[in-house]
Amino acid sequence: MNFRTTVFALSTTLVVAACGGSGLETTTITPDRLVYGSLTTLAVRGINLDKGITLVVPQCIGMTELSGATPTQRVYTCTPDAVGDIAASVTGGGVTLHAVKLTIPQPRVNVKTSMGEMVLELDPTKAPLSVKNFLQYVNANFYNNLIFHRVIPNFVIQTGGFDASLVQVTPRAPIKLEVPNGLSNLRGTVAMARTAVADSATSQFYINVVDNVSLDTLGGGYAVFGKVLTGLDTVDAISAVPTAVTGSMADVPVTAVTVLSMTQSQ
């Protein structure tokens, strides 16, 4: 059998020209967008694709082929479950036609508050449970219109649990505590808040205003899962607002500091 391949690779697009027994002469893989934890569409285009191909992307979970396949195009959806370079390949005619690496960036979340904006960069490699949990809340718009209900200068600012009337919102089920995970409660890092019970974190999270390395181990530790990439000035501004005891809660800002929106940007 005379089988030859010519490869042209640009960014996340793979082009393979093939001649031979499989009848598959050209194949391309084109993703619409590559975002960690978010459904992506992968279009495979070529010739004689109805003769049988398989798209394999082990770190993109839930691979599903959509209806409407033609001899020149087949479309799949899956959800990237890793960051960095992940392998993708197309097989057909009993051979691997080619393999390519698709690059998934570190997930980021844009946070708009009534006192300014910040961008959070998350680390799903070291804190996968915490990151997936957090992004579920973000992508459900859960945090919109909640307040920073606990603000302590030279310590932390905390949100994700109460609205402006200090009514507690209903979270999802708690997650397992991810410590130690190689991340420390340093200034600007983002971590899961919890009760005295280790595996009790749900929606509430805090941002360290200063280095709080004691939180790495205190009471079993508090799981860091990201950092403030830009907007530490906003964090500092929030940490400086006047607070008071309101009802049974201490350290509540006198004037509400509200999360206007949180959006996953990549």
Q: Can you tell me which residue has the tokens 């390519």? A: 100
Strands 116-122 and 224-230: antiparallel
What is the reported pTM? 0.87
| pLDDT-based confidence at residue 93 (cuts at 50, 70, 90) | confident
Segment 214-219 shows an average pLDDT of 98
H or E element at residue 115:
none
Q: Which of 67 and 6 is assigned the larger pLDDT?
A: 67
Query: pLDDT tens-digit profile of 229-253?
Result: 999 999 999 999 999 999 999 999 9
- Closest-CA residue to 241 (of 111, 116, 109): 116
Query: pLDDT tens-digit profile of 149-200?
Result: 999 999 999 999 999 999 999 999 999 999 999 999 999 999 999 999 999 9
Using a CB cutoff of 8 Å and minimum separation of 24, what contacts does 73-76 make? 73/43, 73/44, 73/45, 73/46, 73/49, 74/43, 74/44, 74/49, 75/41, 75/42, 75/43, 75/44, 76/41, 76/42, 76/43, 76/44
| pLDDT-based confidence at residue 96 (cuts at 50, 70, 90) | confident
Spatial distance between the Cα atoms of 131 and 111, rounded to a whole number of angstroms: 15
What was the pLDDT predicted at 21?
A: 53
Query: pLDDT tens-digit profile of 132-142?
Result: 999 999 999 99
Residue-averaged pLDDT of the chain: 91
Q: Which domains does the chain have, with CATH numbers?
A: 4-104 (2.60.40.10), 108-264 (2.40.100.10)
For residue 255 the two structure tokens come to 């004037």
User: In the sheet that 4-10 helps form, which strands lie side by side, from edge to edge?
Assistant: 4-10, 13-19, 26-31, 40-46, 73-80, 60-65
H or E element at residue 92:
strand 84-92
What was the pLDDT predicted at 26?
A: 62
| pLDDT-based confidence at residue 4 (cuts at 50, 70, 90) | very low
What was the pLDDT predicted at 25?
A: 54
- Residue percentage of the chain with pLDDT more than 70: 90
- Closest-CA residue to 85 (of 98, 100, 73): 100
Spatial distance between the Cα atoms of 252 and 243, rounded to a whole number of angstroms: 5
Cis omega before residue 180 (within 30°)? yes
| pLDDT-based confidence at residue 13 (cuts at 50, 70, 90) | very low
